[in-house]
Structure 1
């Protein structure tokens, strides 16, 4: 709450703060002084920490003084792995079940949304929920979706595992008895061979994401509006910056145009560092080479800048994160193309991030890096890291540290923890991912959500998991 009572200091050489928060419990991040009572902000940055009386001289005629009433104050949060660009383009199109405690309530929300959805658009429930959060401990049925929205197409994505569609959704997607199953996925059919509305990732999620991509998109003006709403929602949870990990169905430069326009207009409320992700199998090396010749990490400004490549460099090197299915075996010999991709990047000073769920994948990637290290290319000038790393081993962590790498972990176990436990056992689940072992080796460990398609974009759900190890 804004307060009076602090007298502005007389004019002096020390610059006054734009904002002073007093009577607070300020988390400083400094192990020698972990807490402070007041914080001063100038030009959007922390200018000083201390007690109320220590910072009183920073109050000037234009300083806004806020009494925190003894509440906790933390710095703006950074989500180190968030699909913020793609999420913004679709935010106003989605119905969120984050934190909804009963399937009955979720279906009521679906019925309400059907009454508001414009003709031709779909209802999309994408990310932030799991069946285990509902009191009923189950997913909705296709029949329930049909009853809730008989005429509006519905697509409900459940983790990396499956999706449900109502009858109208199946028609809108163009699925018929003659539609073939995509590679790594299944369109489930009834006894007559007709698609019944269930899609299964077996084990890859391409069938889920390619179906979602069939839904109508927004025009340019509505994409800007949607993105602004999404960024404000992230601000509401305390996020002031994020690293966009790119991803499938996010093409450069086309799908980056909205955030670029907002940045040019000074309308971003979240600082974004973004990555570039080759979209087409067989074209990855050409894409990476073209990018290194036309743009470079650091391009942009404090609000929007290029960070590097990833989270995939080549499609053949990417594993899947569907813990309801056995670990996929990656193709033999993918390392040759992968080595060329990494070489293009490190020789041009690019950093990169790599999607790698399993230690089996990480070990194979590390062997490529060690080969390049023998040529003096690792550690290089660009930062590099593994994303996810749920089952990374102690030996692999030692190798990552030796090569100057880092790890970015996300709370996928908040939503998939039970599936992981059922497949790999409670002991393995208790150490997945091994965050303490990473820190003990001096590795930089970044945290994120991997939102929006599976996890919630609420960073406090991720922080709760990091501290407690509990699922939602």
Structure 2
């Protein structure tokens, strides 16, 4: 029986799982930059062309999709994404992406607080900017207190600041006697009490470490959260990503959820991941332990180890609040201590990624070659 003007002719062993037609397929082939249809089987493109080209792949069970003239592109790869860490608590986030006014954002926050279980926080941790709001400003502490008087609220603005309501200050343990962490500032009132505003000055560690005090999900809930996050990324065209690791992402514990999903065939995004030393001054200890546990390339097409990164040494950490100069002179990058993690990785055949490297950083090829010898 004809389907969409095409007659199924392929056997079950030859038929495509999905055929997309009436599309503008971007082929990346200079000889034929655009096609009208694509046939896919077992997650692999089998044919690209016009209806005549894909007709031999149409079977009785093939799903036929009419793209209605829309653009079809190859799956996108994000080369720097915190997908493993982000997925673990994604469903706990309140998203302000595209919200046009602070008034509407606060109404969303109020509704979220009303349905948040006791003990959990309302957290807004990215995807928005004060410039998107008609009011052109982030929320105040007073506004958060009014919207959620009893539920802890943490609102991150870029990597420059965070606003906490009264309940979050209490839950996080901030008091008059809490000292400012290195590179961060707890804004205080005239009485010395924390106001609820935290500043990266210039280090965002104060922001990350505060958010890390919020309750997390467990077990099956982490899997559900991660799958929702991956599907959201799929919705924007991503089919693969390089996970940059990062602070508060410990191996192997925080990688357990994505590893189980990969084992069960439930990942919808291919992930190449990195391992990130978590403690300044103990980078070699972390790397040595991992080198004995895993090797780059371990895994499969859906989840595999890429190497070390996004930083190998905390001495080379950059700061996200670019409005302020880093407080530590870059000469600390010249010492042997900062070179050792790179040399350790190189000697053991581990690739690495570095988020920010100065031209005078000691991790130069000639020094790495010497280290490997």
Q: Flag whether TM exceeds 0.5 (same fold).
A: yes
1: CA distance, partners of 2:74 / 2:235: 13
2: CA distance, partners of 1:374 / 1:248: 29
Alignment RMSD (CA, Å) = 2.0
Q: Find the counterpart in structure 2 of residue 340 from structure 1.
A: 340
Q: Find the counterpart in structure 1 of residue 6 from structure 2.
A: 6
Q: Find the counterpart in structure 2 of residue 363 from structure 1.
A: 359
Per-residue deviation, 1:7: 0.5
- Contact 1:3-1:66 at 8 Å conserved across structures: no
TM-score of the aligned structures, taking structure 1 as reference length: 0.75
Per-residue deviation, 1:326: 2.4
Per-residue deviation, 1:331: 4.5
Per-residue deviation, 1:349: 2.0
Q: Find the counterpart in structure 1 of residue 88 from structure 2.
A: 89
2: CA distance, partners of 1:175 / 1:265: 42
Q: Find the counterpart in structure 2 of residue 134 from structure 1.
A: 133
The aligned runs of 1:159-174 (5 Å cut-off) are 159-174=158-173
- Contact 2:345-2:351 at 8 Å conserved across structures: yes
Decide whether aligned partners of structure 1 residues 341 and 229 sit closer, same or farther in structure 2, where only a CA change above 3 A counts.
same
Q: Which piece of structure 1 moves more, 287-296 or 245-254?
A: 287-296
Segments of structure 2 that go 5 or more residues without pairing to the other structure are none
1: CA distance, partners of 2:365 / 2:123: 44
1: CA distance, partners of 2:317 / 2:151: 35
Q: Find the counterpart in structure 1 of residue 238 from structure 2.
A: 239
Q: Deviations over 1:78-98 (max 9, x none)?
A: 211111111111111111111
TM-score of the aligned structures, taking structure 2 as reference length: 0.94
- Contact 1:319-1:330 at 8 Å conserved across structures: no
3-state SS in 1 of match to 2:7: coil
Q: Find the counterpart in structure 2 of residue 158 from structure 1.
A: 157
- Contact 1:320-1:328 at 8 Å conserved across structures: no
Total equivalences in the alignment: 371
Q: Find the counterpart in structure 2 of residue 274 from structure 1.
A: 273
The aligned runs of 1:397-436 (5 Å cut-off) are none
2: CA distance, partners of 1:328 / 1:34: 50
Segments of structure 1 that go 5 or more residues without pairing to the other structure are 379-472
Q: Find the counterpart in structure 2 of residue 419 from structure 1.
A: none
Q: Deviations over 1:394-435 (max 9, x none)?
A: xxxxxxxxxxxxxxxxxxxxxxxxxxxxxxxxxxxxxxxxxx
Deviating runs (4+, > 3 A) in structure 1?
327-331, 373-378
Per-residue deviation, 1:327: 4.6
Q: Find the counterpart in structure 2 of residue 66 from structure 1.
A: 65
3-state SS in 1 of match to 2:46: strand
Q: Deviations over 1:29-70 (max 9, x none)?
A: 223322111111121011221122122122223322222121
Decide whether aligned partners of structure 1 residues 10 and 294 sit closer, same or farther in structure 2, where only a CA change above 3 A counts.
closer
- Contact 1:9-1:60 at 8 Å conserved across structures: yes
Decide whether aligned partners of structure 1 residues 323 and 70 sit closer, same or farther in structure 2, where only a CA change above 3 A counts.
same
1: CA distance, partners of 2:228 / 2:53: 38
The aligned runs of 1:291-440 (5 Å cut-off) are 291-335=290-334, 336-356=336-356, 361-365=357-361, 367-372=362-367, 375=370
- Contact 1:317-1:330 at 8 Å conserved across structures: no
- Contact 1:150-1:167 at 8 Å conserved across structures: yes
Per-residue deviation, 1:16: 3.0
